[in-house]
Amino acid sequence: MLTELLLGIAGTVIALGVAVTTIWQGFLARQYNRLSVKPMLRVDRITVSGENAKIVLRNTGVGPAVIIRIKFFVDGVAIEQSFSKVGELALQKIGLDTAHYRILEIFPKESFSAGEQPALFESIDIIKDYMMAEEVRKAFKRLAVEVEYESIYKEKFNCMEKSDQKDE
C-alpha cells in the first residue's frame, strides 16, 4: 500500500514537471517566433548626383510590416489631408514640382515584406549636378515622415524620421 502511494506521488510529480516544462517551452517558442518575424522600418533620403532623388521606406527587419498610418510633417507641422493626397501635398509644401515625382500611395493594412524598400517619393529626372542635389536635399530636410506599423502578431511599432536628420 505504501509503495503504491509513493509511486502515485512520484508519477504526479513527474507529470507536473512535464506540464511545467511544456508550458515553458511553448512560451519560449512563442517569444522566438515573434522575434523571427519582427519588422523594422526606416526612412532614408537619397539625394546623390547621377541618381534619382527619393525618399525610401526600408523594411530592414526579418518579417513583414503592416502599415497602420503614415503621417507627413513639413517644418514640424503635420499635413492634414486624405490618405491618398497627402504625399502630393507634402511635395508641394516643400517646394518640389509634383509633375517631376512619382508618389507612392500607401494605404492602411498594406504590408511590406522583409527587405522591401519602396520609394515614397522618387524623381523622374536624374539629379544632374551638385547644385541640383543640394536644392533637393534642402527641400527633403524640411519633410519628416512618421510611420505606425505592426507585425503579423499585432505588435505595434513607430518609425519617426525627423526633418533635421542627416542625409544618406
Q: Report the pLDDT value the prediction gives residue 85, as an integer from 0 to 100.
A: 79
What is the distance between the alpha carbons of residues 168 and 148, in angstroms, rounded to a whole number? 22
pLDDT at 98: 82
Residues 93 and 137 in one domain: yes
166 part of a folded domain: no
Q: Are residues 14 and 70 in the same domain?
A: no
| Domain carrying residue 20 | 1-36
pLDDT of res. 13 = 94
- Which residues of the chain are under the pLDDT cut of 50? 165-168
Q: What CATH number should be reported for the domain holding residue 96?
A: 2.60.40
Q: Please tell me the predicted confidence (pLDDT) of residue 21.
A: 95
Which amino acid, one-letter code, is at 77? V
Q: Considering the domain boundaries, does residue 168 fall inside one?
A: no
| One-letter amino acid of 78 | A
Q: Within a domain: residue 167?
A: no
50 and 77 in a common domain: yes
Number of domains present in the structure of the chain: 2
Q: Residue 57's pLDDT is what?
A: 94
